[in-house]
Amino acid sequence: MTNWDEIDRYAKQWIKEAGERIRNSFKMELIIETKSNPDDLVTNIDKETEQFFIENIAKTFPGHQILGEEGFGDSIQSMKGITWIIDPIDGTMNFIHQQRNFAISVAVYEEGVGQIGLIYDVVHDELYHARKGQGAYLNSTEIKPLEEVPLERAIIAINATWITENKRIDPKLLIPLVNAVRGTRSYGSAALEMAYVVTGRVDAYITMRLSPWDFAAGIVLINEVGGVITTLEGEPLNFLTENSVVVANANIHNEIFTKFIKRK
In the complex, which residues of this chain contact ligand 2AM (CB under 6 A)?
Answer: 36, 40, 69, 87, 90-92, 159, 188-190, 209-211, 214
Diameter of the chain measured on Cα atoms: 52
The site for Ca ion, by CB under 5 A, has a size of 5
Among 8, 121, 193, 214, binds Ca ion (CB under 5 A): 214
Nearer to Ca ion, 69 or 224 (CB): 69
Please tell me the distance from the alpha carbon of residue 251 to that of residue 24, in angstroms, as a whole number.
42
CB of 213 to Ca ion, least distance (A): 6
Q: Over the Cα atoms of the chain, what is R_g?
A: 18
Where are the strands (E) in 36-102, listed by range? Answer: 41-43, 65-68, 82-90
Q: What's the one-letter identity of residue 15?
A: I
CB of 37 to ligand 2AM, least distance (A): 7
CA distances from 68 to 40, 247, 264 (A): 16, 22, 31
Nearer to Ca ion, 36 or 75 (CB): 36
Q: What's the one-letter identity of residue 83?
A: T
121 contact choice in ligand 2AM, Ca ion, none (CB below 5 to 8 Å, kind-dependent): none
Helical (H) or strand (E) element with 194? helix 190-198
224 contacts Ca ion (rule: CB under 5 A):
no
Nearer to Ca ion, 114 or 151 (CB): 114
DSSP letter, residue 4: H
Among 87, 110, 203, 224, binds Ca ion (CB under 5 A): 87
Assess contact for 190 and 170: CB atoms under 8 A.
no
- Give backbone dihedrals phi and psi of 123, rounded to 5 degrees, phi first: -70, -35
Nearer to ligand 2AM, 69 or 224 (CB): 69
CB of 69 to ligand 2AM, least distance (A): 6
Q: What's the one-letter identity of residue 12?
A: K
Nearer to ligand 2AM, 134 or 159 (CB): 159
CB of 190 to Ca ion, least distance (A): 6
Which x/- pattern, by CB under 5 A, does the window 46-85 give for Ca ion? -----------------------x----------------
Report the residue closest to ligand 2AM, judged by CB: 190
DSSP letter, residue 174: G
Please tell me the distance from the alpha carbon of residue 235 to that of residue 244, in angstroms, as a whole number.
10
CB of 187 to Ca ion, least distance (A): 12
CB of 171 to ligand 2AM, least distance (A): 16
Q: How many CA atoms lie within 13 A of 181 on its CB side?
A: 23
CB atoms within 10 A of CB 30: 14
Stretch that binds Ca ion, among 10-18, 49-57, 58-66, 213-221 (CB under 5 A): 213-221
Report the residue closest to Ca ion, judged by CB: 90
Contacts with Ca ion by CB under 5 A lie at 69, 87, 89-90, 214
